[in-house]
A and B are shown apart, each in its own frame.
Chain A
Amino acid sequence: MWATIMSIVFVITRNSTTREAESRYEGIMLHANEKIRGVLSDVYVAAINNVSVIESDLDTPDKLQAHLEQMLKLNNYMSSCRLIFEPDVYPQRGHYFEIYAWRDSTGTIRSKQMNEEHPDYLTHPWYKTAFEMNEGDWTPPYFDQAASQQLTTTYMTHIHNQDGRKIGMLGADVSLEWMRLRHKRIDAENHERFEKGFKEQSYSFVIDNGGTYLVHPDESRILKKTFQEIAATTTDTIDDYLARQMKNHESGSCQIKKDGVNSVLFYSFVKYAEWTVVIVVPEAIINHQGNMLGAIILTVMFLGLIIIFLLCRSLIRNIDQLGKTTAQKASIEQELKIASHIQQSMLPKKYPPYPERPDIDIYGEIVTAKEVGGDLFDYLMRDDKLFFCIGDVSGKGVPAALMMAETTSLFRCEAMLHTEPNRIVSQMNKAICETNDSYMFVTLFLGVLDLKTGHLSYTNAGHEPPMLVRTLARFIYVDNNIPLGLRTDWEYTNQEILMDRNEILFLYTDGYTEAETATHEQYGRDRICSKSNRLAYLDLDARQFAHQHYETAQSFVGDTPQADDISLLAIRYLGQSPDTPYYRCLTLGNDVEEVIELTAFVNSICKDLNLDETTTTYTTLAVEEAVVNVMKYAYPDREPSHILLEVKADDEALTFILRDKGMPFDATQAAEVDVEQNAAQRIEGGLGIHLMRHYMDNISYKREENENILVMQKLIKK
């Protein structure tokens, strides 16, 4: 199909271009024709006009010479002119009378009477023939041997006397030299403009009515040969037909083999002169441009075709690719779904996880954002210790999910080997650093809760601080350890708190604190804290607690899509088994506000032990004084730290063990205050210690492993 289209285009292009070339040559030829006709008609008109002037001045022959000069002067193409009279028209001038005017080689117009010098003109056939005719006409061209030595044609017209008798002739000569030069120029121009580089080139010639060459590149033919003679020498008959056509004053064009070359011959009949102008153009030239253009168009089309083909091919390939990509994407999405599923399945799912244990209640939940995320939490039980962690891998997507999986399995592995949280975290950190080429990191909070005592040791590696919820909710203090995966040699620190029965440790990831409303307001720790405070009084189990938190956050953000995973983990410690000796504990922040907690705590113990109100008050007072002293003296700069209070009771005594990691401070060594002094002399210090000593039965102090340990004993009188 393409071949057909291309051939049609090629043929159309070639034909139209060929026609264009033909009309170009036709134009050149017609122009030449017009020029010849114009020149000849100018001369003819001049001659006709002058006839009447001459005829009116026939009586004064002396004026005639001036008339001729004038006529010549006004006509640039007229090379010369003559006035020839029949014998004895002017007897006083002689038998003959002829006036001749011409341009000399400098262009000056000159004239003379030729009477005696041109004796036999009347007998010349050109004159006789012309004179015999009734109208003026052009003589066949001839070589003007007398004057210009150039090919010349003359318009001969009759001069009549007043009686209307023909008495002579006016001859206006036109040198055909300009025509020769003009055709030479036309040919040269054609060669230059259209035919460069061609072996065969166009040429033009002019023949007269009889077929005689007037202008021809081969000058030997001029006036010597006729078209018919040349045509007769060739074998084909087309040129003979052409000769006839020209003789019949036809114009047109024809394809012939001329001088052995396939050519197109354009011929045009020139009115008045009855000549024919001919241009012979080799077909190669006529077709050249068409061929060139056709070839160019074909080339362009072919190139276009190739380009289209290539485009189509790449398009098809792209479509294929797109199909494949879509399929791949679908399969990746499917895989992501599976990955997300696997990830979810790596998280603990069974709640309650340890139904056989009365001392622990755990509930954890990850609400994943759109993508697979890097949140994780996990826990395991070993030797009556709960190992747990919550973490967040930087970034999202599959890399985060893989890192999460790695972290989880590292936790499971290391928690089986070590008991100290900082040791577990350090081991995990080393393993992650070794394989972490993509500079991802994991924030992690890892705790080990001794279920026998409620003693929780923990290491926080750049994670959000968990919240300890009892009657009040407080964020626990965490050391500023860097996340896992950043520095292999980082020394992670251990911290510890004590969890009393029914206290909840609430852990979460930054997806929770940073949950945003549409106006980019973050949920924030303050809201978490106040929500926890409200929930603290409700005595909720771990599942309800976590769930209430999540629902509050949900109603806060509204319809805003979740940007990050939200992980919540609530660990509720339910206390030791009932058959162990009475034991309670309290973790206090270094803040006098926490005295409220302390009061509630001591009161609840006293209530448990059925102690009377007075004992309760004095015990509370002594413990408060002890704790406030620690806050005041062990932490003079009020640095954040936990103050741990353990309480043991048996039938005889209630024992308080107060521990802190502040500056060494021994309350037992403080000087006794003089209670007998009057107000003006009293100093403020020492009152608390005095009360503490007074209301406690035994007080002892020791410093162990950077800890102040104050043991106070209250004897119980039952």
Chain B
Amino acid sequence: MEIRIEKTAERQVTLILAGRLDTSVAAAAEREIKPLYDYFEQEIVIDCSQLEYISSSGLRILMHIAQQGWINHCEIYIQGLQPNVYDVFKTTGFVHLFKIK
């Protein structure tokens, strides 16, 4: 599992998730995305093009990001979802929580 946060434009920050976001790495991932909560009124892009797998623990992290983004007046986009992961998003209704690019 690899997590990166990159400032990609003046009002845009990108979170790159790569690999498998399962329960065994969830706690570590939760810590690593914390800096994201410091952005206000920005566009947050979650790049999932390299995300192979996500379980409910990973979804829960994304939900935290969504909730915090709503508080911070950030707009959150998800881009590059692979089919298997997209299916999980669909199954859990997460497609409604984010704007999917």
| Interchain nearest-CB distance for B81 vs A (Å) | 13
Contacts of A613 in B (CB 8 A): 84
Which residue from chain B places its CB closest to the CB of A675 in the assembled complex? Answer: B93
* With A625-B55, A688-B55, A691-B56: A679-B24 Cβ-Cβ less than 8 Å: no
* With A599-B20, A614-B84, A624-B22: A680-B67 Cβ-Cβ less than 8 Å: yes
Q: Is the CB of A688 within 8 A of B26?
A: no
Which residue from chain A places its CB closest to the CB of B82 in the assembled complex? Answer: A617
- C-alpha gap A628/B23 in the complex (Å): 7
- C-alpha gap A593/B28 in the complex (Å): 11
Q: At the interface, yes or no: B92 with Cβ under 8 Å from chain A?
A: yes
Q: Is the CB of A679 within 8 A of B63?
A: yes
Q: At the interface, yes or no: A595 with Cβ under 8 Å from chain B?
A: yes
Q: Is the CB of A621 within 8 A of B53?
A: yes
Q: Is the CB of B55 within 8 A of A691?
A: yes
Q: Report the 8 A-B pairs with minimum CB-CB distance, sorted nearest first.
A: A675-B93, A688-B56, A595-B24, A687-B56, A679-B66, A679-B97, A617-B84, A595-B23
Contacts of A690 in B (CB 8 A): 56, 91-92
Q: At the interface, yes or no: B42 with Cβ under 8 Å from chain A?
A: no
| Interchain nearest-CB distance for B44 vs A (Å) | 13
Most buried by B among A618, A680, A682: A682
Q: At the interface, yes or no: B88 with Cβ under 8 Å from chain A?
A: yes
* With A617-B84, A621-B53: A691-B63 Cβ-Cβ less than 8 Å: no
Q: Which of A617, A620, A678 contacts B96 (CB 8 A)?
A: A678
Q: At the interface, yes or no: B27 with Cβ under 8 Å from chain A?
A: yes
- C-alpha gap A103/B15 in the complex (Å): 151
Q: Is the CB of A592 within 8 A of B56?
A: no
Contacts of B88 in A (CB 8 A): 621, 691
| Interchain pairs with CB closer than 8 A, number | 76
| Interchain nearest-CB distance for A676 vs B (Å) | 6
| Interchain nearest-CB distance for A617 vs B (Å) | 5
Contacts of B20 in A (CB 8 A): 599
Which residue from chain A places its CB closest to the CB of B71 in the assembled complex? Answer: A680
| CB 8 Å contact bits of B52-93 with A (1 = contact, 0 = none) | 110111011001001100100000000000011001100111
- C-alpha gap A599/B54 in the complex (Å): 12
**Which residues A670-692 have CB closer than 8 A to chain B?**
673-680, 682, 684, 687-688, 690-691
| CB 8 Å contact bits of B17-48 with A (1 = contact, 0 = none) | 00010111011000000000000000000000
Main secondary structure of the interface of B (DSSP, over half): helix
Contacts of B70 in A (CB 8 A): 679-680
Main secondary structure of the interface of A (DSSP, over half): helix
- C-alpha gap A554/B56 in the complex (Å): 46
Which residue from chain B places its CB closest to the CB of A620 in the assembled complex? Answer: B53
Which residue from chain A places its CB closest to the CB of B60 in the assembled complex? Answer: A684
* With A592-B23, A691-B92: A682-B55 Cβ-Cβ less than 8 Å: no
Which residue from chain A places its CB closest to the CB of B67 in the assembled complex? Answer: A679
Which residue from chain A places its CB closest to the CB of B91 in the assembled complex? Answer: A694
Which residue from chain B places its CB closest to the CB of A595 in the assembled complex? Answer: B24
What would be 27 A-B contacts, judged by CB atoms less than 8 Å apart? A592-B23, A593-B24, A595-B23, A596-B22, A599-B22, A599-B24, A614-B83, A624-B22, A625-B55, A625-B56, A628-B55, A673-B92, A675-B92, A676-B93, A677-B93, A678-B97, A679-B70, A680-B70, A682-B63, A684-B60, A684-B63, A687-B56, A687-B92, A690-B56, A691-B88, A694-B91, A695-B91
Q: At the interface, yes or no: A594 with Cβ under 8 Å from chain B?
A: yes
Q: Is the CB of B91 within 8 A of A675?
A: yes
**Which residues A579-606 have CB closer than 8 A to chain B?**
592-596, 599
- C-alpha gap A694/B97 in the complex (Å): 19
Which residue from chain B places its CB closest to the CB of A616 in the assembled complex? Answer: B84
Could you list 19 further interchain pairs (A-B, Cβ under 8 angstroms) beyond the known A617-B53, A621-B55, A690-B92?
A592-B23, A592-B24, A592-B57, A596-B22, A599-B20, A599-B24, A614-B87, A624-B55, A625-B56, A628-B55, A676-B93, A678-B96, A679-B63, A679-B70, A680-B67, A687-B56, A691-B56, A691-B88, A691-B92
